[in-house]
Amino acid sequence: MLDQELCDKSMQLQGSATEDKSDILEKIQALQMERDQLLRRRNSMDEKLKDGKVLSTEIVGLRESERKLQVQIEEQELKSIHQKNMMCELESALEHLKLQCDRQLTHQRQEHEKKIQFILNHFKEQNSEGIAETLKGYEVKIQQLEKDLFFYKKTSRELKKKLKDLLGESSE
């Protein structure tokens, strides 16, 4: 039974994130040590049984220890499944946020292009007398639009980074 659990933990280890791998490795090693200890005790008991020296309380104690270990293993499996589900949900949320940010950036670019086209069309309609002043005004507007675009791109990167950090924290 413990051998099956160790095999299952090994399979989990292969599909786990780096943080989870070290945790699972520690649990596997602990389970292997407990298994070895139980096997030694079992062999000792087998020898005592052959000799007729075994007390029934020792057998009951060993069986209780085995049941407790089995419960602990099942709890760890449930915890692992829960963590996998959480990771899937967080990855899905990250993808959703990425798509949302991409849509927002695309929309902002389109608005920026429309405003530039408007400025260019307006510039063409102006006569040459007020061109210098109008040109300066448009340059200021373009600079402000570029600053706004930079701000939204920066905010998008920060949000993505925060989400990745949250994903990292939740998997620990």
pLDDT by residue for the chain (172 residues), tens only, comes to 556 666 676 666 666 656 666 777 787 788 878 888 888 888 887 777 776 655 667 777 888 888 998 888 888 888 888 988 998 898 898 899 899 989 999 999 999 999 988 888 876 776 555 667 777 888 999 999 999 999 999 999 998 898 888 888 766 5
Token pair 């943080």: residue = 19
Residue 72: partners with Cβ closer than 8 Å, 6 or more residues away: none
3-14 burial, b at 16+ Cβ within 10 Å, e below that, comes to eebbeebeebbe
DSSP code at position 52: T
Q: What is the pLDDT of residue 55?
A: 64
Q: What is the pLDDT of residue 142?
A: 92
Q: Residue 44 has which token pair?
A: 């000792």
Q: What is the pLDDT of residue 14?
A: 63
Q: What is the pLDDT of residue 167?
A: 82
The answer to whether 65 and 39 have CB atoms below 8 angstroms apart is no
Q: What is the pLDDT of residue 128?
A: 53
Q: What is the pLDDT of residue 127?
A: 57
pTM over 0.85, yes/no? no
